[in-house]
Amino acid sequence: MLLINRTDFQDYFLRRMISWICQEIELPIRQIKKVTFKKTRRTFSGRAAGRSFIVRIGCKERYPTDSFIRHGCIHPALADQVEGLVSTTAHELYHLWQFRQCNPNLKKLEPGAIFGETLVLKIFRDNRDELMTKWERQPECKAAKAPPPLTEKRAEKASVDLRKWMKKLKLAQTKVKKYKQKVAYYERTNTS
């Protein structure tokens, strides 16, 4: 999954959040090709198409929000920017899940996505502290292996070259012995 992040959230935070939401809505994460997170002047917005989606999230000052009605469904009230991020991402991922199901009735896509978003948001609110701890934990960095000293590299190369030339010497000695025998054979046959 290609992640393009133009927000203040860390990449590892967003990847873990997407993975958790995918588990909740039973969408295989391999079905997602590209994800873009951007800032917006509005509170939130998103768009899903094919195997990609975009989430635009507003600044912290835009929250909390009140619930509102859209497409005949009630969008839940959002307490802060993280809830807005989870809610919008869940909404767009639910659309990808719907596209995967090949739902031909486009009029029912938006209410279904709002319903899925509300369920995921409720689960997030119930487990917020635990999930935020997991998502915000920095990944462990593997210690960079120090390159070997230059003299060590040169010594290793010299030993490899020596083995190679010793093999060539042995082959050359075998060929010399073989041709000495041939020459001796032809000298004997020519003298007799």
Query: Which pLDDT does position 55 carry in this prediction?
Result: 94
The number of C-alpha atoms within 13 Å of 60 and in the hemisphere containing its C-beta is: 2
Q: Please give the angle made by the CA atoms of 158, 164 and 165, to the nearest 5 degrees.
A: 90
Q: Which residue has the higher pLDDT, 19 or 62?
A: 19
Query: Which pLDDT does position 145 carry in this prediction?
Result: 80
pLDDT in tens, 93-134: 998 888 887 765 655 688 888 888 899 999 999 999 999 999
Q: Delimit the domains of the chain by residue range.
A: 2-136, 148-192
Query: Which pLDDT does position 123 carry in this prediction?
Result: 94
Query: Which pLDDT does position 115 carry in this prediction?
Result: 87
Mean pLDDT, rounded, for 9-34: 93
Mean pLDDT, rounded, for 82-92: 92
Identify the top-confidence range among 60-69, 79-88, 144-153.
79-88
The fold for domain 2-136 equals: Zincin-like (3.30.2010)
Task: Kindly report the average pLDDT of the chain as a whole number.
Answer: 88
Q: Which residue has the higher pLDDT, 172 or 77?
A: 172
Query: Which pLDDT does position 110 carry in this prediction?
Result: 82
pLDDT in tens, 56-79: 998 888 888 888 787 777 878 888
Encode the chain in three state secondary structure: CEEEECCCCCHHHHHHHHHHHHHHHCCCHHHCCEEEEEECCCCEEEEEECCEEEEEECCHHHCCCCCEEECCEEECCCCCHHHHHHHHHHHHHHHHHHHHCCCCCHHHHHHHHHHHHHHHHHHHHHCHHHHHHHHHCCCCCCCCCCCCCHHHHHHHHHHHHHHHHHHHHHHHHHHHHHHHHHHHHHHHHHHC
Query: Which pLDDT does position 107 carry in this prediction?
Result: 58
Q: How far is CA 187 from the centre of its chain?
A: 74
